[in-house]
A and B are shown apart, each in its own frame.
Chain A
Amino acid sequence: MMVEPAQSSGAGSLGLVTSAAGRAAVRIGLTAVAPVVLALVLSGAVLSQMGTDPLEYYGYVVQRAFMTPSGFQATVTRMAPLLLLGAGLILAFRAGLWNLGLDGQFMLGATAAAALAPPLAQVWPIPLVLAASMVAAMAAAALWSLLPALLKAYHGVNEIITTLMMSFLGLSVSNALVKLAFLDPTTTVPQTRTLAVADRLPPLSGTTVSSGVLIGLVAIVAVHLVMTRTSFGLRLRVVGANPRAAIHVGLRVPLLTVMVFAASAALVGLAGAVEILGVHGNVRADWNPAFGLAVIPLVFLARLNGLATIVYVLFFSALQIGAESAARRLGVPHYFSLVLVANLLIVLALVEHLSQRWRLDTRS
């Protein structure tokens, strides 16, 4: 299925395709499908070096993540936090702000939700508990982004360094909170109190898929629409494209910077809350899924487009779930998914660059 467009792109580069529709097909094949195939081949070379048949591995991952009911439900459930992280990143990156503090914000959100939900569930109705926990998670993460935001907005301090620092700090703070303040006294495992399964985000009817994925989908579509269809989104894109021009057209850049940071971090914190309220029910000490760095390439692969991000997140969730299962069955550690994503990112960036040069060459 994937080979055909790749072949036609080969024909196109030889100048055999001349019609407009043909050229469009060639371009899609060249910029979207060929890199995926190339990245799979490159990563497959790593697999065969390790003594694993790449085709068997890929076949197993696809079979496990898409064809089995439990695997597919796990894939869709995993999408929830990744979609929210993607939404937060698109918001910040489109506004030209490098929010690289995702892991800290994610863990603070998760910890806030895990601290609040179990005790509240004793006294409040469950929907209210879930909503309050999510709001608390968003507030905690947004608060954590305030210092980098203010430093960037009013002192011009590079946000890459400050968000990274705050991320390490956030990880430590949330760990310390889990171990000191919110420890569950009834168990010897260092973890927070556990939210009963019945009290968690309800699964979609007839499945084990947490309804968190709906929150994720709504968030990323909303961010996409805001960025592409509203004047607010346009303002943010102007700030991102040229902050100096943005000041000249009268935009309040410092205020927008702080707002974008808060909103971006709130979405990341919500991702943490959804993962806790929907899947785990508690936060174990030293738990950190480190989704942050992995989502950044996905968002760039999707060229900061929210709808395309959904596709890449589905791909990556399936890869993660399949790889985790393959680790047990085929003995290949799930870290392989990192290699594949890195390959894909680099190949795609290269192909895009080459296709741009190629287009310039054919025009001139």
Chain B
Amino acid sequence: MDMILSQSFLTSLVVGLVMAGVPLLLAGLGEQISEKAGVLNIGIEGMMLIGAYAGFLGAWQTGSLWVGFLYGIGGGMAVALLMAVLCVRIGLSQIVIGIGLTLGAEGLTALLHHVQFSRSYPRLPGVETWAVPGLSALPVVGPGLFDRHPMVYLAIALAVILSMLYRKTHLGLTLQAAGDKPAALDGAGVDVLRTRFAAVLCTGALAGLGGAFMSEVGAGLFIPFMTNGAGFIGIVLAMLARGRPLWVLAGAALFGACLSMTTALQVAGINIPTDVIQMLPFAAVMAVLVIFGRRASLPAALGLPYVRGAR
């Protein structure tokens, strides 16, 4: 009896980890693309929130989660387009515009939610899962990780693909150069602004997808302000990973585990205030920074607009 109880407890812990971790993973991977290209994308929280709203709307209207994901990607990219035009093309402050976009997205989605859903609070039907043959028979990890919505596997695969892309392809080098030595990239005949523009749009797509996963798969409904700092955690993951997508995956798992622990312990009736457990991931990050702070490195031109010929 005890054995079964603890196993189901552990399984729910893994499920929670995956559900909380995937949006963070997508946000972190997205932010990483921008940061590699030299754009500190503080607007990612707003992109996620718009993605969460658009994704829910799409899934609710069409009945298909995949259409919802497309909506989410579109929503995130719409905010990213604004950010790219203002910060990359025109060269306005990335931090100020990013905060402005986040605020605007918070207000706009809360208003839209009020108009459309505040009377009915619709919920999406339960999510269909796809069990990985063989692996899903494993105890705990099987039902927890290998019997989930396919988007979970796609997100994990994306981390691996991006890792190869950065290391093995010309595109990865171009991206890196846009953040480290934009002038050199310009000299080599690659358009820095176009590279950064594309990078910001990719960030928007992934952040929007992460938001859509949160509302469609994670919660099954849209709640105003539901991202609750997930975008900011994505920024932290990207910064700590120093350009390595697999580190983002590990970080997202760590943060996901802490977030999942808060609900799991409550369900298990253990009387620790959630606030104490919620501190764990942030405290862990600060500890890492204190220990390895000296070695933390970011792209040299991060946060600076590129103006050709300017010194």
Residues of A at under 8 Å CB distance from B? 46, 50-51, 98, 147, 151, 155-158, 160-162, 164-166, 168-169, 172-173, 175-176, 179-180, 293-294, 296-297, 300, 332-333, 335-343, 345-346, 349-350, 353
Output the least CB separation between A328 and chain B (Å): 13
Chain B residues with CB below 8 A from A293, complex form:
99, 102-103
Q: CB-CB < 8 A to A46: which residues of B? A: 108, 111
**Chain-A contact segment, one of B67-75, B145-153, B286-294:** B286-294
At the interface, yes or no: B92 with Cβ under 8 Å from chain A?
yes
Report yes or no: A294 in contact with B103, Cβ–Cβ below 8 A.
Answer: yes
* A333-B114, A342-B101 as given contacts; A165 in contact with B275, CB under 8 Å: no
CB of B111 within 8 A of CB of A300, answer: no
- What are the residues of chain A within 8 A of B135 when measuring CB–CB? none
Cβ-defined partner of B96 (8 Å) among A50, A172, A349, A350: A349
* Cα–Cα distance between A339 and B100 once the two chains are bound (Å): 9
Q: Cβ of B103 and Cβ of A341 under 8 Å apart?
A: yes
At the interface, yes or no: B141 with Cβ under 8 Å from chain A? Answer: no
Known A151-B289, A336-B111: A164·B103 in contact at CB below 8 Å = no
Does any Cβ of A come within 8 Å of B296's Cβ? yes
Given contacts A165-B236, A180-B273, A346-B86, whether A50 and B279 have CB atoms under 8 Å apart is no
A175-B273, A335-B110, A342-B104 known; A161 vs B235 contact (CB < 8 Å): yes
- Bound: A294/B104 CA distance, A: 10
In the complex, which residues of chain B have a beta carbon less than 8 angstroms from the beta carbon of A294? 103
Cα A345 to Cα B87 in complex, Å, equals 13
Bound Cα distance A300, B95 (Å): 11
Would A349 and B92 count as touching, CB distance under 8 A? yes
Closest A residue to B112 by CB, please name it.
Answer: A50
Cβ contact within 8 Å between B239 and A158: yes
Q: Report the bound CA distance from A122 to B105 in whole Å.
A: 46
Contact B290 A164 (CB under 8 A): no
| Known A-B contacts A151-B290, A162-B286, A297-B100; A339 and B107 likewise in contact (beta carbons under 8 Å) | yes
> Given A147-B286, A164-B236, do A50 and B115 touch, yes or no (CB 8 Å)?
yes
Q: Is B278 an interface residue (CB 8 A)?
A: yes
Assess the B97–A176 pair: CB atoms within 8 A.
no
12 residue pairs bridging A and B, Cβ less than 8 Å apart: A158-B239, A160-B40, A166-B286, A172-B276, A179-B275, A293-B99, A335-B224, A338-B106, A339-B107, A339-B108, A341-B103, A343-B104
Report if B63 contacts A (CB, 8 A): no
A342 lies within 8 A of B95 (CB): no
Q: Is B130 an interface residue (CB 8 A)?
A: no
B90 contacts A by Cβ under 8 Å: yes
- Complex Cα spacing A296 to B96, Å: 8
B298 within 8 A of A: yes
> Nearest chain A CB to B81's CB is how many angstroms away?
13
